[in-house]
Structures are given as C-alpha cells and as structure tokens.
Amino acid sequence: MEPFKYHVFVCTQEKPDGAPCCAARGAAPVLDALRAEIRNADLDDDVQVTTCGSIGLCERGPNMIVYPEGVWYSGVTIEDVRQIVSDHLGSGKPVARLANTNAGALKAEISENRRKAIAAMRARAASQTES
Ligand code: FES
C-alpha cells in the first residue's frame, strides 16, 4: 500500500565531535527548500516528506531517498531541489546527475562508513574508560 505517489526521506542527522553529517552539510535549509518547492508545485497531496537519521553517506550529504523507485540523491543543494521537484516528483524523471546509480558501490560505501563509525565509537569508549 502506498498512500502517496512519492515518499521522500531526508537525512537530517547531526553527529558529535565534528563527524561528517547531513546536518553540518546543510540539510535543514535543503529540507526547508524541498517543502516550499513541493508546496509551490501544488504537490502536497502527492508527496510525503519525512526526516530520517543517517543513511550511511554522511560525507556526501545532504542525502535523500525517493520512493517508490528508491532513488538515492546525494550532495543535494537548495538549487538542486527545484529540479528534483519539477523533474522527479512532478514529471516522474529522476535527476540522473544527483542520483547514485551503482547499487554495489553504494552498499560498499555505506558498509565502509559503518565500519568507520563503529571504530570511532569504540575508540571514544576506550578513551573514556582510560580517563
Ligand atoms: S548523517 Fe546523513 S547520511 Fe549520515
């Protein structure tokens, strides 16, 4: 069941200690622009926007995923939002220049970032135990 034509998940995760994250890379103004552009395009009844936590591409944020196709957009700027709304959400044509198209590479990048995040957490825990 899909109550909306499109469901857009926008990562707004903040991370501590200067770690790369979508919040630090401008997710909030991109989210605001997305909501405004959807409203301007009169697509409110067709598009659901939901904020979410990290999707594992923290160094390339802001990131968003558009369903039902499962298009992963990275490095989205305020200027890009208008094209995503008009071309993808309005006309059904994903914006190729912003989309991650290699699922294997995407999964490998996310897995590597997960390994790095776990290692960093363990290092922080170890340093707190020592002090
Ligand atoms: S913080 Fe957004 S993908 Fe990790």
- Residues 94-129 have pLDDT tens digits of 999 999 999 999 999 999 999 998 998 899 899 888
**Prior bond of 3 cis (ω within 30°):** no
- Given pLDDT bands bounded at 50, 70 and 90, which one contains residue 86? very high
The length of the chain in residues reads: 131
Segment 8-13 mean pLDDT: 98
- Sheet with 47-52: list strands edge to edge: 47-52, 6-11, 64-67, 71-73, 99-100
Residue type, 76: V
Structure tokens at 58: 């923290």
How far, in Å, from the CA of 23 to the mean position of ligand 1?
8
Q: What is the pTM of this model?
A: 0.93
How far, in Å, from the CA of 79 to the mean position of ligand 1?
20
| Residue to mutate, 30, 50, 51, 57, ligand 1, most ligand atoms under 8 Å from C-beta | 57
How far, in Å, from the CA of 46 to the mean position of ligand 1?
25
